[in-house]
Structure 1
Amino acid sequence: MELENRLGKKVMLFDGAMGTVLQQRGLKAGSVPEILNIGKKEVIIDIHKSYLKAGSEIITTNTFGANKLKMSEIDYTVEEIISAAVENAKRAVIESSKDALVALGLGPLGELLEPMGSLTFDEAYSLYQQQILQGVKSGVDIIHIETIADLCEAKAAVLAAKENSNLPVFCTLTFEEDGRTFTGGNIHSTISVLEGLGVDALGLNCSLGPEKLESLAEEVLKYSNTPVILQANAGLPVVEEGKTVFKLSPEEYYKPIARLYEKGLAVVGGCCGTNEDFIALIADFLKDKAVKKSNNEEISIACTPSKWKDLKKINVVGERINPTGKNEFKKALRNKDLDYITRVAIEQVEAGADILDVNLGLPEINEEEMMVKVIKELQAILDIPLQIDSSDENVIAKALRYYNGTAVVNSINGETEVLEKTLPLIKKYGAAVIALTMDEDGIPETAEGRFEIAKRIVNKAEEYGIKREKIIVDCLTLTASAQQKGVKETLKALKMVKEKLNVNTTLGVSNVSFGLPARAVLNRNFLTLALYQGLNLAIIDPNDSEMMANIKAFKVLANLDKGAVEYIEFMANVDQEEIKKENSAIETMELEEIIVKGIKKEAAKLTKKLLAEKDALEIVNNHLIPALDIVGERYEEGKIFLPQLVQSAETVKEAFAVLKAEMAKNGDEDISRGEIVLATVKGDVHDIGKNIVKTVLENYGYKIIDLGRNVSENEVKKVVKDNNIKLLGLSALMTTTVKNMEKTIQIVKEENPDCLIMVGGAVLTPDYAEMINADYYAKDAKDAVEIAKKIFG
């Protein structure tokens, strides 16, 4: 089968679930499904055949968890498992006499990437690379990356696939009902990043049934120009007579699929709880039908995983992360003082910046190394898109590789050499790019000359496959003091570019006033004129409240701020903002604010300062815990997401380290608020959720005994008994291991009836928790904290 002749043209059918079907066929709770590729290959082949008979055109290898992290405790190598899995799938195709393709199924690695976890981007890439190289060697037709919650992990997997094979790449993420992934990712950012990386199909899988995923799938279909996949669960599972049961029928499953087909769905399959009956019903109605064409909306955004900015609208780009003319900033770069850079970034965001320009161009530093460090530091504490500002293509390449989201690159120009070096990087990583209207001959004096350069760059970019939505033209602000006529030409060129090339625009506004008195007056007037001509990205100092007020006023006058809501709010807060700016330096922040913002390095300094006047317990109760409560409330309200929650918890860890050292020095008792045991149950090697709960609980002052993953019932029982534990937390991610959780609860309670048990994990619900006799259900780390508070007071 030739995929290129079918994908996006005719509806294609994936298979359904593997794990839950194996469970129905007697897979022992807690067993590793991937080893059955070798030990019970006939069972795997038979399941593949059942899907092929039902009408599947793409079958997925039984390799969801076949990575080095998860396979560390079995007797087979990753290569052996994948080789056997591909052989089984290919044999099923041959024996079924079907024209079908084999997709290498790759699931999440089981550990969170930095900054939420300890796994580095390069380590994640290497783990996926190992799987992909073996899959290619074994002869798969497609790389299928599925059930991903972290956009950075998806990026590592897609790059590993793209850089180590020529195969089509499909990628699906798993979303909750609120339209967010577990780590806070949103639909727009997901589409932008995956399309930018050049996947061949993208979409949603797992987590929920098709009806609950329908509105999210509609949003993907509305904005994606790439064929869209949906592989939903057969609803949410329940436990009946100790077994996991999915109640949704094939007919109920199909109804929302049929509606989504009318809106352009291109690839359909099933996830947990589905089987060959589901696929057969879909095949009866949809197989080989033409994909419905939809008039998709082109998205033009810069983004982080959880926040995106529409580049077609007016955005403020903070200009202050730049050493030009700033001695203190140069000193910070030489000393690798990330705290200083972080401070500048925070101040700009609080002042209203939508995007931050990051320029670290100082000859005496290693710009490439520093750029990566700064990007990681800023993305750990701020949820705002970044603009990578460098003229060195090596710096740009490194920055784009490690940036989590869709960045803006500042900049390219009309020089042939620059375009040939930089445009391939923009295309590879899916970035947006600023194009300066200058070339080997300098900056043209006329608007027409600058327009011609812009047109040439746009055409060249399109030759590389870069869409106009990704291009931002800078017609270059000239100084009124030296090139007064040129100011008018800049504005004229801006209007021409906007109207004739249909691209977004930007200007470094403050250049206009260089060398003249009362610069702010010139800057404000020039900004207003530029906005009227079609300026999208205004590169300014957001701490200049009068410049910000000009933007708010223009939005009202241009009918962009409906009801003047933004303007009224901004003007009402101007006085307060001025006071806030005067006191916003990190040196003047209270410890609580440092924790909420997640500025780790400052937490220890402030804690030492507080110890001079307060004792350790007072600092814990009156500073650390209230700050974490604020963070928890914001997390629950959806104002911040998992990366910010973890960063704040890690910041508290810095403070606790100081307090513990002080207590030990004085010979005092530990400041622990209680002792809790955490474990991922036997047979389950996923401990992402448990590790997050551990981090947050520790930083509320609880002592955690972490037993790790794949922990036997007897080991849990022994540790609980030996330490007289009041609270035990158990985690499970897979439906196949919930039974082991139930068994662990039973055994622990037999000998330790006073120990209370909380449970959590992707497959758990309150009903599940009650059925398996747990005392509490914790849907996330915030819930776990509330439970601990209730028990320990």
Structure 2
Amino acid sequence: MSSIVDRLEEEILVLDGAMGTELQKRGLEVGDCPEELNLTHPKILKEIHSSYVKAGSDIIQTNTFGANRLKLAEYNLAHKIEKINQQAVKLATEVAGDDVFISASIGPTGKLLEPLGDLSFQQAYHVFGEQAQILEAAGADLINIETMTDLQEARAALIAVKEKTSLPVIINLTYEENLKTMTGTDPQTAITVFEALGADVIGANCSLGPKKLVEIIKLMGQYTATPLCVQPNAGLPVLNENNETIFPMEALEMANYIPQFIEAGVNIIGGCCGSTPEYINLAKKKVVDITPASRIKKKETTLASRTKRVVISDNLPTRIIGERINPTGREELSHQLADEKMELVAKEASNQVQAGADILDVNVGVPQIDQAQAMKLALNTVHNVVDIPVSIDTTNQEVLEAGLQTIVGKPLINSVTGEEESLNTVLPLAKKYGAAVLGLTLDEDGIPATAQGRLKVAKKILNRAQQLGIKRENVLIDTLTLAASAEQDKVLETIKAIELIKEELGLATVLGVSNISYGLPAREEVNTAFLAMAIQAGLNAPILDPTNKAMQATLKASDLLVNRDLQGQNYLNHYSNQEERKKEEKEEKLETTDSLTKLYHLVLEGDKDNIISEIEQALTDHQALEIINQALIPGIKEVGAKYDEGTYFLPQLMMSAETMQEAFTKLRPILQEEDNQQTIGRVLLATVKGDIHDIGKNIVKVMLENNGFEIIDLGKDVANDKIITKAIEQEVDLVGLSALMTTTMPNMEKITMILKEKAPEIKILLGGAVVTRDYANNIGADGYAQNAVEAVKKATELINNSKN
């Protein structure tokens, strides 16, 4: 049988459909571990696999979606991880025959990675790597990483599978109605990250029906030539006339979207929740003898954060790499890094982005500190306050790898040289972690005196990178700036070297600008003149201080003159906004002198490092309740508004919530002394019986606590009777129920029915990935919340209305 990667160039392959809903049809009990059925009910699994093979599937998936160590531990089955995964592959293989590929399904851990949660990158990496190795050894043909909601967890899984196995890999994220993941990643950013990590196929599955997934695949197809995969749900779950949870879209209706997927450039078509063998059969008939649409990707250098991609190109404006997160010659920043305090890092990150930085260089090179830990803390801080990509600036291998594990997105490594030790250390890490790399044109003999010499080193770096499988667009070159005061005759060699790199290699170029004026008076004049010369020669991304107005002005004017600023838009905007910005800065400065306004902004910015000291200052003039009502609550409400409008995502939401928690911890004892404790109401939260997923519920808990609610959290997989009994005993105002699986949704109805009978005064609010507003209405619940921000609004409304 030909390799799957080869076949994808010539034909569209059909994956199978749903596993979970097919198991439910055959009597899977709520609360059972679906993967344990590989051991207890092998005939059922083979029957499902066989139905998809008969329907025409070219690829069938193993029943291993939740068979990682962390998920199995929820059912006390971690000790059976090998048996469950091995048996899953065996059952699929026995049915597949010689012409059907066995795809091993790997799903998420059910936990959020740091800094959003408690799971470290290394822990996730080991969990995914362990499962992947078992699946490969058992005979799987490829791995399908699917239903990932967080880019960082997806990175950990993809890196682990690529490192620990030799199998082709599909990587699928799941998207929400706004065409972003739960943590804010859009399809084009995902493409940037996964391509650099070497994914063989990239796609989207679950969460949405085919109509929305057509939009996502179209977006992906515009940014990549990598094969694409789509696995839509059969619509969103609803209740039928028998009060059973179903996915409403019929097979024929689903299949009608297949021509649109084909036109968008898809290479693999399958199905997710609710899809059936009938749909797969229709899909197979529609793709027979059809060649995948041709897609050509531009060869662009692209970096990414969790939520934003930045393209570096000769046809686009010059990108600024902000240099100010660097302790060299900066005593205060050095002290803070040594003390693991990130106040100045956060401030510099925010200020540089506001000034126009496109990428932030992060250097923590303070002697005699734990630089790996400092890099981790600094990068997490940068992630929390800004949304642009990062350049990891270090020559230390341990620090570099710590940074590469922490970073969310596709970073730039600053840097690698032409020295053998550097090439052998840095390039393998860049390949493994999907980073772009900045090559410095120096080697064991130092910096070549001529432009030709520097070109030679650049060619060596590029050649070695490509030998490892790093694409040429992921290699940038720094031709090195030498001080004009010491080596005036070498200044033009740097400029000539940029021109040669462009002419002969076509690579993006980076340059540290300010070293040119070292030891000279009036340094700014020298720096701006040199920057203009470098941009004219082809410089793409200078490393500079973006808050320096002269440098900004020179850069904008240079881009205009070399035709890299379309119709002078950036130049005109820069100057038309200056007066307005001065006025805003003046007003902002006046506003933030008030302690309550400062606290409001600290919550808005998620600055938990400074919230306590500012509260202590505010308490000299204000009571605790006043601080809460006039600063903290308005701040978190504004965060919610920004989340609703799509300018904030889950990371910012969580950081602001954690900042609020720090504030409340400080203020709670004072409120007790003032006898001024006030709550909107008492809320009981629980994930219903049979559902071991509680990420969403935990986020709602944090948001409700920080908006003035008293919370009783019963956890996950909670029995119906316990929820009902506790709600009545504790005299709660509202019960919040969460479910992530369609199999557990009926428990919501049972709880709602009994509570409405026994305690009609208690309001019931539903949420969870598979729950809908219609479902909540149909079963008699009082409300539905799509996310944590809406949960706060709805809970407030329900409780206030019931008390009035």
For the aligned pair, the TM-score class normalised by the smaller chain equals: over 0.9
Q: Counterparts in 2 of 1:272-421, with a 5 A limit?
A: 272-287=273-288, 289-312=290-313, 313=316, 314-421=318-425
1:225 Cα offset (Å)? 3.4
Distance 1:83 1:6 in 2: 31
Cα RMSD between the aligned structures?
A: 2.3
1:578 Cα offset (Å)? 5.5
- Quote the residue 1:90 is aligned against: 90
1:236 Cα offset (Å)? 2.4
Q: Counterparts in 2 of 1:429-578, with a 5 A limit?
A: 429-575=433-579, 577=581
Q: Are the aligned partners of 2:67 and 2:84 in contact in 1 as well (CA < 8 Å)?
A: no
- 1:684-730, CA deviations, whole angstroms, 9 ceiling, x for partnerless residues? 11111111111111111211111111111111111110111111111
1:299 Cα offset (Å)? 4.3
Distance 2:579 2:613 in 1: 30
Q: Are the aligned partners of 1:223 and 1:298 in contact in 2 as well (CA < 8 Å)?
A: no
Could you tell which deviates more after superposition, 285-294 or 357-366?
285-294
- 1:197-251, CA deviations, whole angstroms, 9 ceiling, x for partnerless residues? 2222221111122222112102212222322111111222322121223332333
- The one-letter code of the counterpart of 1:216 is I
Distance 1:15 1:405 in 2: 30
Q: Are the aligned partners of 2:349 and 2:385 in contact in 1 as well (CA < 8 Å)?
A: no
1:186 Cα offset (Å)? 1.5
Paired residue for 1:676, among 651, 673, 683? 683
- Quote the residue 1:190 is aligned against: 190
- Quote the residue 2:598 is aligned against: 590
Q: Are the aligned partners of 1:302 and 1:406 in contact in 2 as well (CA < 8 Å)?
A: yes
For residue 270 of structure 1, give the secondary structure of its aligned residue in structure 2.
coil
Q: Are the aligned partners of 1:59 and 1:101 in contact in 2 as well (CA < 8 Å)?
A: yes
Distance 2:736 2:573 in 1: 45
Paired residue for 1:780, among 771, 784, 787? 787
For residue 69 of structure 2, give the secondary structure of its aligned residue in structure 1.
coil
- The one-letter code of the counterpart of 2:493 is E
1:281 Cα offset (Å)? 1.5
- The one-letter code of the counterpart of 1:300 is T
Q: Are the aligned partners of 1:196 and 1:428 in contact in 2 as well (CA < 8 Å)?
A: no
Distance 1:91 1:240 in 2: 33
Could you tell which deviates more after superposition, 685-694 or 543-552?
543-552
Distance 1:604 1:672 in 2: 22
Could you tell which deviates more after superposition, 234-243 or 40-49?
234-243
Distance 2:23 2:589 in 1: 57
Distance 1:678 1:542 in 2: 47
Q: Are the aligned partners of 1:716 and 1:748 in contact in 2 as well (CA < 8 Å)?
A: no
TM-score by length of 2: 0.94
- 1:245-297, CA deviations, whole angstroms, 9 ceiling, x for partnerless residues? 33323333233322332443221211111111111112223256443332223
1:86 Cα offset (Å)? 4.3
Q: Counterparts in 2 of 1:592-671, with a 5 A limit?
A: 592-664=600-672, 666=673, 668-671=675-678
Q: Are the aligned partners of 2:146 and 2:172 in contact in 1 as well (CA < 8 Å)?
A: yes
- 1:157-194, CA deviations, whole angstroms, 9 ceiling, x for partnerless residues? 12222333222222111112322111101222211222
Q: Are the aligned partners of 1:93 and 1:99 in contact in 2 as well (CA < 8 Å)?
A: no
- Quote the residue 1:47 is aligned against: 48
- 1:449-472, CA deviations, whole angstroms, 9 ceiling, x for partnerless residues? 222222222222222211121111
Distance 2:206 2:155 in 1: 19
1:659 Cα offset (Å)? 0.4
- The one-letter code of the counterpart of 1:65 is G
Distance 1:172 1:62 in 2: 17
Distance 2:77 2:326 in 1: 52
Any stretches of 5+ residues in structure 1 without a counterpart?
Answer: none
Distance 1:253 1:237 in 2: 14
Q: Are the aligned partners of 1:17 and 1:271 in contact in 2 as well (CA < 8 Å)?
A: yes
1:238 aligns with 2:238: yes
For residue 230 of structure 1, give the secondary structure of its aligned residue in structure 2.
strand
- 1:90-126, CA deviations, whole angstroms, 9 ceiling, x for partnerless residues? 3454356453232221112112112222222222223
1:558 Cα offset (Å)? 4.1
Distance 1:27 1:537 in 2: 57
1:147 aligns with 2:154: no
Q: Are the aligned partners of 1:78 and 1:131 in contact in 2 as well (CA < 8 Å)?
A: no
TM-score by length of 1: 0.95
Distance 1:284 1:98 in 2: 21
- Quote the residue 1:249 is aligned against: 250
- The one-letter code of the counterpart of 2:618 is L
For residue 346 of structure 1, give the secondary structure of its aligned residue in structure 2.
helix
- 1:598-617, CA deviations, whole angstroms, 9 ceiling, x for partnerless residues? 11110111111111111111
Seen in structure 2, the aligned counterparts of structure 1 residues 556 and 255 have a Cα distance that, compared at 3 Å, is: farther
1:36 Cα offset (Å)? 2.1
Could you tell which deviates more after superposition, 271-280 or 371-380?
371-380
1:58 Cα offset (Å)? 1.9
- The one-letter code of the counterpart of 1:765 is T
Seen in structure 2, the aligned counterparts of structure 1 residues 477 and 578 have a Cα distance that, compared at 3 Å, is: farther
Distance 2:94 2:480 in 1: 62
- The one-letter code of the counterpart of 2:506 is N
Percent identity reads 42
- Quote the residue 1:117 is aligned against: 117
Q: Are the aligned partners of 2:416 and 2:426 in contact in 1 as well (CA < 8 Å)?
A: yes
- Quote the residue 2:178 is aligned against: 178
For residue 182 of structure 2, give the secondary structure of its aligned residue in structure 1.
coil
Distance 1:411 1:67 in 2: 36
Seen in structure 2, the aligned counterparts of structure 1 residues 257 and 504 have a Cα distance that, compared at 3 Å, is: same
- The one-letter code of the counterpart of 2:661 is K
For residue 609 of structure 2, give the secondary structure of its aligned residue in structure 1.
helix
Seen in structure 2, the aligned counterparts of structure 1 residues 640 and 428 have a Cα distance that, compared at 3 Å, is: same
For residue 764 of structure 1, give the secondary structure of its aligned residue in structure 2.
coil
Could you tell which deviates more after superposition, 774-783 or 294-303?
294-303
Q: Are the aligned partners of 2:89 and 2:135 in contact in 1 as well (CA < 8 Å)?
A: no
- The one-letter code of the counterpart of 1:236 is L
Seen in structure 2, the aligned counterparts of structure 1 residues 77 and 418 have a Cα distance that, compared at 3 Å, is: closer
1:759 aligns with 2:766: yes
- The one-letter code of the counterpart of 1:625 is I
Q: Are the aligned partners of 2:224 and 2:296 in contact in 1 as well (CA < 8 Å)?
A: no
- 1:707-764, CA deviations, whole angstroms, 9 ceiling, x for partnerless residues? 1111111111111101111111111111111111111111221111011111111112
For residue 234 of structure 2, give the secondary structure of its aligned residue in structure 1.
coil
- The one-letter code of the counterpart of 1:507 is L
Q: Are the aligned partners of 1:83 and 1:138 in contact in 2 as well (CA < 8 Å)?
A: no
Could you tell which deviates more after superposition, 230-239 or 505-514?
230-239
Distance 1:700 1:47 in 2: 47
Seen in structure 2, the aligned counterparts of structure 1 residues 702 and 512 have a Cα distance that, compared at 3 Å, is: same
- The one-letter code of the counterpart of 2:62 is T
Could you tell which deviates more after superposition, 71-80 or 731-740?
71-80
- Quote the residue 2:25 is aligned against: 24
Q: Are the aligned partners of 1:177 and 1:213 in contact in 2 as well (CA < 8 Å)?
A: no
Distance 1:491 1:97 in 2: 62
